Amino acid sequence: MKNTKLLIISLVAFVFFGIIIFFMRNLIFGGIAGTYEEAQPNKSAYTDKWISYEVIACFGEYAEETETEYFIPTGHSYYYLIWMADGSIMPLSVSKKADKEYLDALTLATYDYCDGKTRMIEMEPRTFIGTIKSQETEALRYYNEALTGMETTAANGWTIRYELMDCTDTRLGYILLCSAVIMIPVFGIVSYIVSVKKEKKTKVNGETGYLPR
């Protein structure tokens, strides 16, 4: 009876997680669905799809978020003001150290250009890949405060994009997460099969133990 319950729970979990993975298939197997410019006006059509954007200029970091698990820091997210090729401003978040270092260096290069120290932004553009989503309330507040402080607001003639390009997740991360999750019910099913075989073997040994030799 105990083994039967384990099998039922494992099968239900397997189906449940399988449905979740099905709806996440674009993040696991899908390619680049479009650019930020294409996704921003119609976010719902690009939900859970990968998008890209070539970053050429940056006005700096406006927020930082520490991710914790059981009160233990497990990672950071860094939010940046990206100066787009069309002259507007967009928010972008990263978590990798290399991405943060690039955007920090690009910020310095951007201000050198704005201050007239250089005739161009002397850093190669980099294409970022992520997903598009709405900013959380606190991040949005810091975004608006940073824009106001820099006087880069709609009232001052700037076009402001509010949809966040989130580059903190990767395809590999989703693959590892889904693999770990789906292994839970698989382990339960395997345990059930092993238990049934063990019970059958025990039963056979018990029945033949009293036969003449």
Please report whether residue 213 resides in a domain. Answer: no
Please report whether residue 157 resides in a domain. Answer: yes
Burial of 104: CB neighbours in 10 Å, binned 0-12, 13-18, 19+: middle
Asked if 57 and 136 sit in the same domain, the reply is yes
Asked if 90 and 193 sit in the same domain, the reply is no
Structural domain including 114 reads: 31-169
Asked if 133 and 194 sit in the same domain, the reply is no
Asked if 143 and 185 sit in the same domain, the reply is no
Asked if 59 and 7 sit in the same domain, the reply is no
Please report whether residue 187 resides in a domain. Answer: yes
Dist CA 161 CA 150 (whole Å): 15
Q: Along the 213 residues of the chain, how does pLDDT read in single tens digits?
A: 556 665 566 666 656 555 655 555 555 655 788 999 999 998 989 988 899 999 999 999 999 998 766 556 567 899 999 999 999 999 999 999 999 999 999 999 999 999 999 999 999 999 999 999 999 999 999 999 999 999 999 999 999 999 999 999 765 555 555 556 556 666 656 666 666 666 666 665 555 554 444
Asked if 127 and 158 sit in the same domain, the reply is yes
Asked if 80 and 162 sit in the same domain, the reply is yes
Please report whether residue 67 resides in a domain. Answer: yes
The total number of structural domains in the chain stands at 2
Alpha carbon 117 to chain centroid, angstroms:
37
Asked if 13 and 48 sit in the same domain, the reply is no
Asked if 61 and 85 sit in the same domain, the reply is yes
Asked if 59 and 164 sit in the same domain, the reply is yes
Q: Please, what sign has the CA dihedral across residues 112, 114, 115, 117?
A: positive
The total of other beta-carbon atoms located within 10 Å of residue 213's CB is 4
User: What is this structure's pTM?
Assistant: 0.69
